[in-house]
Structure 1
Amino acid sequence: MSMTSSPSSTGRFAGLTALRYRDFRLLWIGELVSITGTQMRNVAIVWQIYQVALADGSVKPEIALGLIGLARVIPLVLTAFFSGLVADRVERRKIIMLTSWAALGCSVVLAVTGGMERPPLPLIYAMVAIASVAGAFELPARQAITPNLVAPQHLPNALSLNIIAWQIATVVGPALAGILIATIGVTLVYWIDAATFLAVVAAALMMRTRNIPARTEPVSLQAALAGLRFVFSNRMIAATMLLDFFATFFGATSTMLPIFADQVLGVGPAQLGWMFAAPSVGAVIAAMLLTGIRIRRQGIVLLTAVTMFGICVALVGLSRSLPLTLLALAGTGAADTVSMVIRGTIRQLLTPDALRGRMVAVNMIFFAGGPQLGETNTGFIASIFGAPAAVALGGTLCVLFVIGTALKVRELRQYDGPHMV
């Protein structure tokens, strides 16, 4: 492993310290472009499936939308452990390139479906599933390579900047997608998404850092499961992952947003884009604030943030006003970002480099599996009681789960590790 520089964190741009590392900066810019395209695609998928379900009539829109989560989570869980092992055994830069090509192919197929009069839902779900497999291999490699690109003291800053990139993309992407869908349709959105993956490929090709894969144990199921054993041998890491899983399971809302836009708030795809972007507006503000402050008593801050997340989710379910809905959605993004930075820093600092890819893969099951399974669960509940009741109930259950976790896991409640910047 090599780093191209070791920048100082002093000065007026201390909050951008990690961007002074050349390879981190390249990857950060590439991911910013690519994630923007992915977020555009996500809005296009839910709108396309909602419209197809309404026109077809053979399946309730709530069920059709809920199945998106199932299409994402099943392949993710099936491949996650081995994808983490691959991230620890293969040069991570190459994994990022290969998975970007695979995701690009899925977007091209989706663009073709956008031109069909009656696109088959199974084909759309299949592309969602294949893209999920690509993501299952890309995410551990991308997150595990970050500590290879910056000095340890700048890792919290790098993680905050990664979140900022993610949230900027999830503001710009959905808002732009909403406008394009309302004026042109989903096809152009899919083509733009396909093109954005080339930014990651270019960034990976220009990077100089090469991680040295660990080869101290043979490739096997036992080696693949080493990350799971490590996670549950560390009470702090396990607690943060379980908290994340159940909070996002109960608080899953995103695939129900087309129903809120069309049936509850009476707005169109442009406003739907705002609704998808709103959590990221709050998240960007929170992430920017976190780059310049020290977080003390991280355990209490984490529990408070997840509680606020649940409250805001419940408000989304209760709201009948677009401004209030946007405000509540922004609150979910801000609260989730505070939680994400604390959880991510704890896990990265407590995990040895040889296990980082597999730890990230296990975490991927929790942080991606929670909301995706939650979307499916919310969809089925919404098909019976309606989307507003399902979302409000989910937010309430999220808050109750946080209270239970705080009472049961004393270590998390009392945790006060190195003060993060």
Structure 2
Amino acid sequence: MRFAALRAPWYRGYLIGGILLMSGDHVEHAITYFVMWQKFQSPVLAGFATISHWVPFLLGAIPFGHIADRFDNRRIIQASCVLFALVSVAWAVLIGTNTLQPWHCVILLVLHGLSGAFWNPADQLMLYDMVGPEVLPSGVRLMATGLNLGMLAGPALGATLLAIPAIGPVWGMALNVLLYVPFFVYLAITPVTGHRRRRVAPPRMRFRDLVGVLREVPRYPAILLMMLTQGAVGLFIGTALLPLLPDFGRLLGQDQGPGYILLLIAMSTGAVAGGLGMEALGRIAASTRAAIVASALFGLGVLVFAVSRSFPLSLAALVLAGLGNLVGASTAQTVVQLAAPEDRRGAFIGAFGMAANGFRAGSGIVVGGLSALIGVAGGVAVGAGALLVVAVVLLVVVTLRRRRGDRSVDPAREVALD
């Protein structure tokens, strides 16, 4: 069945709300990064902006997952919307009164990162509760596609608001608050809590249990494999490629104008096209092998991009990388949800998020350090090559264990919806 999740009650409005939230997230990135650079010209502050986005996942994803297991996830996501909105208002006030200081930026960037980390496990539990395990791959993939659409629309809207003299950064940040309102209101209406399908109550939360889930992960080989795969994606490539695109644009003779814009949007375009294309096929597969192969395609696309000096080939490689990244990440997320124990699904989602998103905080160090030693193209190529090696090794492990009859490495049922 094509676009199966869209047939689930309450899913369409939830998807639209998520797209608007992600658009607001990236409007804020576009405006505040511009303002910070214009005002302070600080590479350290620019680097901290990236780190602050992902460190909250590294440190907070597991506790936030435990919270999602125990509380109404509508209220958790609404709290995230409120925090996102308050941060936008704070930016608007500080910029408008010309009192913005670097320490203000640090606090607001950290709060923004915490907002994203806080809503992530709750969002995944809402998807499971909303669509059920049978069409969960469709639900996760469509939401991932929608979020990538928000990543495309947000910077474009932010740049437009900056370019209009009557609006500028102050009113741009104030208007950005409106993008969080529809999701907040929708969550007040929907009866989905994230727990309606749960038949087993979560155990009482103790402090030692906050990280104890990491000791349990090896008992669930499929989850461990997905954490290793997406952790490698985050660490060896992560978000380090985007800040380096100006250098690649220069190498390709496309450091400004339409060519550079195409480089900026190529990966998100590939992700959106890939997500919609797979939904249109009407057959949804959720397996560890599919997630690993898709992540390998992501690495291959980035590797080709790094070594290519042909603009059309580089553009095609980024589109392929975007497609592989979306399919790999959404499939891995689905496998984790299906394989996790029912009473602690949020905690295991948090552990997965710690690896998949938290490790992105280190990608700038890994890729940046390599680029400083052997050049930008070489650094990205080595990172992509390392991801490919990890993916091949993990794929061999899965294949060998399945041949020995070990189904635990791939318990996420292959769901055919045709």
TM-score, with length taken from structure 2: 0.83
AA in 1 matched with 2:226: T
Q: CA deviation at 1:261?
A: 7.3
How far has the Cα of 1:152 moved from its partner? 2.7
Please list, as runs of the form range in 1=range in 2, the aligned pairs for 1:334-413 lying within 5 A after superposition.
Answer: 334-383=323-372, 385-410=374-399
Structure 2 distance, partners of 1:47, 1:145, is 34
Query: Quick one: percent identity of the two aligned structures?
Result: 22
CA 1:324/1:37 → structure 2, altered by over 3 Å: closer, same or farther? farther
Which residue of 2 is the match for residue 152 of structure 1? Answer: 133
Aligned to 1:278: 266
- Of 126, 150, 153, the residue aligned with 2:107 is 126
Separation of aligned partners in 1, 2:185 and 2:333: 27
SS of 1:419's equivalent in the other structure is coil
Give the Cα–Cα distance (whole angstroms) in 2 for the partners of residues 271 and 187 of structure 1: 30
Letter in 2 for 1:96: I
Aligned-partner residue type, residue 200 of structure 1: F
CA shift, 1:255, in A, is 4.3
Matches within 5 A, 1:178-217: 178-181=159-162, 186-187=169-170, 189-210=172-193, 211=195, 216-217=202-203
Q: Report what 2:6 is aligned to.
A: 19
Query: Which among 58, 62, 74 is matched to residue 93 of structure 1?
Result: 74
- Bigger mean CA deviation after superposition, 286-295 or 327-336: 286-295
Aligned counterparts of 1:237 and 1:294: Cα–Cα separation in 2: 23
The alpha-carbon distance between structure 1 residues 64 and 296, as it changes in their structure 2 partners (threshold 3 A), is: same
Tell me if structure 1 keeps the 8 A contact 2:2–2:283.
no
> SS of 1:22's equivalent?
coil
Equivalents in 2 of 1:24, 1:127: separation in Å?
31
CA drift of 1:177 comes to 3.3
Q: List per-residue Cα deviations over 1:140-196 (Å, max 9, x = no partner).
A: 111112121123322222122212211222222233334444666555553343221
Structure 1 contact 111–188 (Cα < 8 Å) conserved: yes
The C-alpha deviation readout for 1:288-307, integer Å capped at 9, x for no partner, is 22223436694443333222
Distance in 2 (CA, whole Å) between partners of 1:326 and 1:50 is: 28
2:50 to 63, 69, 90: 69
- Give the SS at the match of 2:135: helix
Alignment deviations for residues 49-87 of structure 1 (CA, whole Å, 9 cap, x no partner): 55556x45xxxx4x5544333222333322222211110
SS where residue 2 of structure 2 aligns? helix
| Alignment check: 8 A CA contact 2:5 2:135 kept | yes
1:220 maps to 2:215: no
Distance 1:258 1:151, change over 3 A: closer
Given the superposition, is the C-alpha separation of residues 215 and 298 from structure 1 closer, same or farther in structure 2, using an over 3 Å criterion?
closer
Instruction: Show the counterpart of 1:35.
Output: 22
Are the counterparts in 2 of residues 37 and 173 from structure 1 also a CA contact under 8 Å?
A: yes
Q: Which runs of 5+ in 2 are unaligned?
A: 404-408
Structure 2 distance, partners of 1:177, 1:420, is 39
1:290 aligns to 2:285 (yes or no): no
Counterpart position of 2:65: 84
SS in structure 2 at match of 1:153: coil
Once residues 306 and 95 of structure 2 are traced to their aligned partners in structure 1, the CA distance between those partners, rounded to angstroms, is 31
1: CA distance, partners of 2:88 / 2:257: 20
Distance 1:110 1:261 in 2: 32
Which amino acid counterpart does residue 130 of structure 1 have in structure 2? Answer: L
- For residue 227 of structure 2, the aligned residue among 241, 256, 260 is 241
Distance between the aligned counterparts of 1:278 and 1:128, measured in 2? 26
Displacement of 1:115 = 5.1
Q: Which residue does the alignment assign to 2:406?
A: none
Does the C-alpha gap of structure 1 residues 154 and 279 become closer, same or farther in structure 2, counting only changes over 3 Å?
Answer: same
SS at match of 2:155: helix
Deviates more, 1:353-362 or 1:67-76: 67-76
Report the RMSD for the aligned CA atoms in angstroms: 3.2
Q: Tell me the number of residue pairs that the alignment of Structure 1 and Structure 2 aligns.
A: 402
